[in-house]
Amino acid sequence: MNIPQITDSHCHLDFPDFDGEHGEVIARAAAAGVTRMVTICTKLQNEPAVRALAEAHDPVFYAAASHPMSVASEPMATTDQLIALARHPKFVGIGETGLDYHYSADSAEAQQESLRIHIAAARATGLPLIIHARDADDDAARILSEEYRNGAYSCVMHCFTSSPELARAALDLGFYLSMSGITAFPKSQPLRDIFAAVPLDRILVETDSPYLAPPPHRGRRNEPAYTADTARRAAETFGLDYAAFAAATQANFDRLFWKAAAWRAAA
C-alpha cells in the first residue's frame, strides 16, 4: 500500500525537544509519508546548527531569519547577511519573520524594520518569505502590501490563525496560507471556515513542532510525522480524500519552495 507523500513545511528540529532523536524522528516521518520537512532557524546565531541538520539528513531543508520575538535581543539582521545564507543549496526560505504583538508589542517598531529587511532579502533571492503574525493583523497586512508594491515577492503565512481580513489580504497578493495542528482542534471550526474559503492551490501544511500537536497527539510533543494527522483533518475541510489533498499540497509546496523541489528532482 502506497502512503501519500506530504511535506512538513515548518518545524523546529534544532529545538532541545529533539536532541539525540533526529534520526528516529525523521524515520517516523517517512513511515507516515512525510518525506520532506523545512526546519526553521529563529535566531541567526543558531544558523550553523540548523544548517548542519539539513546537511546531515536528506529529507531536511532549512530557512533562517530573526523571529519577531527575538528582534529586540539580537543584532538586527541585514539583507546582505540573509542573501549570503541563501546561497546554501538546502536553504529554501527567508523566515520565520513577521510581527508578534501578543508577547512583544514593546518592540513593534524594531519588528517592523526587521520585517522589511527580510522582505528585501526574499525579493532579492526569489525565495519565499515565511511570516509569523500574531495580534498584528493590520500592520502585517499594511507592510506586506506596501512592500509588494515596491517589488513582488512570494510568501507563506505560517501557522495561520488570524482574521479573514488578513487571509484575504495575503491571498490578494498571491501568498499561501499554512494549516497547523490548530486547524484540527475540535474548537477550531471558525478557523476551518476561513480555510474552506481559500483556493486549494494556496494551501500548505505544517506541524510547527515541537508545538501544537494535532489530535490524537494533543498535549504531547509534536513532530513532523504528525503532519499527516493535520492533513487528514484538513482534507475533510476541503471535501477531498487524503490522497488528493496530499497531492495538492505537494504541488503547492513545490511551486513555492522551488529550491526544495529542485533538490528532489536532482537527487
Task: Render pLDDT for 208-245 as a digit per residue (tens, 0 to 9).
Answer: 999 999 999 999 999 999 999 999 999 999 999 999 99
pLDDT at 137 exceeding the cut of 90: yes
What's the pLDDT band for 53 if we cut at 50, 70, 90?
A: very high
How far is the C-alpha of 179 from the C-alpha of 230, rounded, in Å?
8
**pLDDT one-digit tens code per residue, 141-195:** 999 999 999 999 999 999 999 999 999 999 999 999 999 999 999 999 999 999 9
How confident is the model over 159-169, as pLDDT tens digits?
A: 999 999 999 99
Sign of CA dihedral 167, 169, 171, 175: negative
Q: What is the pLDDT of residues 66-103, one digit of tens each?
A: 999 999 889 999 999 999 999 999 999 999 999 999 98
Distance CA 41, CA 61 (A): 11
The whole-angstrom separation of Cα 38 and Cα 59 is 9
Which architecture does CATH list for 6-262? Alpha-Beta Barrel (3.20)
Domain chopping of the chain, boundaries: 6-262
Q: For position 249, what pLDDT does the model report?
A: 98
Band of the pLDDT at 264, cuts 50, 70, 90? confident
**Is a pLDDT exceeding 90 seen at residue 49?**
yes
Determine the residue type at 201.
D
Residue 122 is predicted with a pLDDT of: 98
Q: Measured between alpha carbons, how far is 205 from 5 in angstroms, rounded to an integer?
A: 12
